[in-house]
Structure 1
Amino acid sequence: MLWAVFTIIAAAAQTARNAMQRELTAKLGTAGATHVRFLFGFPFAVLFLIATMAATRLPLPSLTTPVFWPWVALGALSQIIATALMLAAMNHRSFVAATAYIKTEPVQVAIFGLVFLNDRIGPGAAAAIIVATAGVVIMSMKPAAAGAARLGSTLLGLGAGAMFALSAIGYRGAILALGYPDFVMAATFTLVVSLGMQAIALTIFLALRDPRVLHMIFRLWRPSLLAGFMGALGSQFWFLAFAITAAANVRTLAVVEVLFAQAISKFVFKQASSLRDVVGISLIVVGVVLLLWTTH
């Protein structure tokens, strides 16, 4: 059950990072706030890799494994798109509602995992995915917005969930493709490669399209550095969990992030909770308990 511990730590770190990025979006825009997690997260990922090498005294995995690169590229590109869509959704809806839309991803992860990685899940885990997903759907069905604005925010959130699902599959596929005997080294190495690819790609994009945003990012280096650290920390534990179990299990348990988001929404952003939130949270808890019970 070590994967469950890794997932909960990752979800907590990611919730904190999402809240930080949400605040940065007003100053940096969607692309700039997206870039923060990659640019400032990469140095911390390198430190994690150095610490792993020192602790395990193992050599780095080979960079010549050809099948590794398509998988990690899929994960990296999907995550860039997913992060941008997520931040756009958070600008349209409340923090917790946007997070709820995105957390409809476990069903998509289960399907993608079966198709691309042959990751099979049992009937108990499948039931847990359905129950937990029902909880986040109920939480997202709020009457705060209407018409085209509500539809737009819904599509942004669901699109982000789909891209995060593809990203999870890409990263698990990359870790497995390395065929490395130590899962910690395989996960940490994959994290460094993916964050490096993302940091380079978005830096080039912004330099060509809007260099002013790059200057703003470095002017706001203090909050950006903290957001980058939390992003790298969360990703480190996501990757460790992906190295141990099917991505569907990880992303289903990850719906606890909605509970963390609910707390931040209430106590930080002062957004009130409703009865619908309580029902949704209850279903999420039931789904998570069922998942842990059936995979134990």
Structure 2
Amino acid sequence: MIWVAATVIAALAQTGRNAAQAGLTARVGTIGATAVRFLFGLPFAVIALALAAMFWQIPPPDLRAVGFAAMGAAAQIAATAFMLMTMRGQSFGVATALMKTEPVTLALIGALILAEPLGPARMGAILLATVGVVLSSGASWSRAGVMPVVNGVTAGALFGLSAIGFRGAILALPSGGFFLRALTVLSLTLAMQAAAMLIWLVWRDRAALRGIARDWKTSLAAGALGAFASLFWFIGFALTSAANVRTLALIEVVFAQILSGRVLRQKVRPVQILGMALIVIGVGWLLAVAAR
């Protein structure tokens, strides 16, 4: 069950990356802060790949692997754009709940594109955990507009599509163990995304690019944490279906609620406690199904 440990590590590292990026947003803008994870994450991935090449043969990506990686890279960038639109139109709780529908769409897309099994027990666990996220978010849905809801669900679906692209690229590699496959696809994907974001910033937002350069220390930390988190996400994708990985990742919602209650002294409502319980039950159910 290496994928379980890899997913938990990835979720924790992603929390650190988000914290680093949050501080950058006020100084370089949302697009600039988003670009940091790719521009400053790429050098760390390339260095790790170069070190690995000293001991093992790196699996050469073929056109199929490159195509899947490109799909994942583009979907992730598009998902980020829809996520930002959702957050502008709704509260953070509503936006988070909408985007966390990702495991459901991911499981459906995985069944269609990668022909991964979608049994009733596995789908039931995913749905239960997703409902738990919606309840635990504490979101108020009375003022939720149609377009923000559409944008949020679209963001979740695109994040799911990106995970399918990454897993497809990993599976398409002709050789190598799970670590080498994950590292190779990570480097390839980050190279595509860094190039795309750099072109966009030079063309449309040079002020953000200058801000990133001035704040290079924080950007470097965010990039390192982002590359580290992505590597472990990809390790998880190399070992099991993307839907399993992203459903297990929902457990971070429980950790965040516990942290906000104990450290920030925020009140947790009974419906949120119910939601956290459903997440735990759903994740436990998923692990039991995956272990068969």
TM-score scaled to structure 2, two decimals?
0.90
Code of the aligned partner of 2:59: P
- The RMSD of aligned alpha carbons is 2.3
Task: Write the mapping of 1:76-225 to structure 2, written as runs, cut at 5 A.
Answer: 76-90=73-87, 97-140=94-137, 142-143=139-140, 146=143, 148=145, 151-225=146-220
- 1-side partners of 2:216 and 2:142: how far apart? 34
Q: 1:58 aligns with which of 56, 60, 64?
A: 56
Aligned residues of 1:139 and 1:277 also touching (Cα < 8 A): yes
Cα deviation 1:55-113 (Å, max 9, x = unaligned): xx2122224x1111110000001111222333444455565553332221111111110
Runs of 5+ unmatched residues, structure 2: none
Runs of 5+ unmatched residues, structure 1: none
Aligned residues of 1:96 and 1:265 also touching (Cα < 8 A): no
Q: Counterpart of 1:46?
A: 46
Task: Write the mapping of 1:27-46 to structure 2, written as runs, cut at 5 A.
Answer: 27-46=27-46
Q: Counterpart of 1:17?
A: 17
Matched, 1:276 2:271: yes
- 1-side partners of 2:139 and 2:181: how far apart? 41
Q: Counterpart of 1:229?
A: 224
- 2-side partners of 1:267 and 1:166: how far apart? 35
Q: Following TM superposition, where does structure 1 have runs of at least 4 consecutive aligned residues deviating by more than 4 angstroms?
A: 90-97, 263-272
- 1-side partners of 2:141 and 2:15: how far apart? 22
Cα deviation 1:125-162 (Å, max 9, x = unaligned): 222111101111223462287254xx554334322211
- 1-side partners of 2:120 and 2:144: how far apart? 38
- 2-side partners of 1:156 and 1:221: how far apart? 32
- 1-side partners of 2:173 and 2:211: how far apart? 38
Q: Secondary structure at the match of 1:69?
A: helix
Q: Secondary structure at the match of 2:32?
A: helix
Q: Counterpart of 2:4?
A: 4
Deviation, structure 1 residue 14: 1.5
- 1-side partners of 2:78 and 2:264: how far apart? 25
- 1-side partners of 2:174 and 2:100: how far apart? 30
TM-score scaled to structure 1, two decimals?
0.89
- 1-side partners of 2:22 and 2:264: how far apart? 11
Task: Write the mapping of 1:239-278 to structure 2, written as runs, cut at 5 A.
Answer: 239-263=234-258, 272-278=267-273
Cα deviation 1:255-295 (Å, max 9, x = unaligned): 11222443565578776533232111111010011111111
- 2-side partners of 1:92 and 1:28: how far apart? 21
| Distance change (3 Å), C-alpha of 1:203 and 1:240 | same
- 1-side partners of 2:287 and 2:115: how far apart? 21
Aligned residues of 1:178 and 1:186 also touching (Cα < 8 A): yes
Q: Counterpart of 2:68?
A: 71
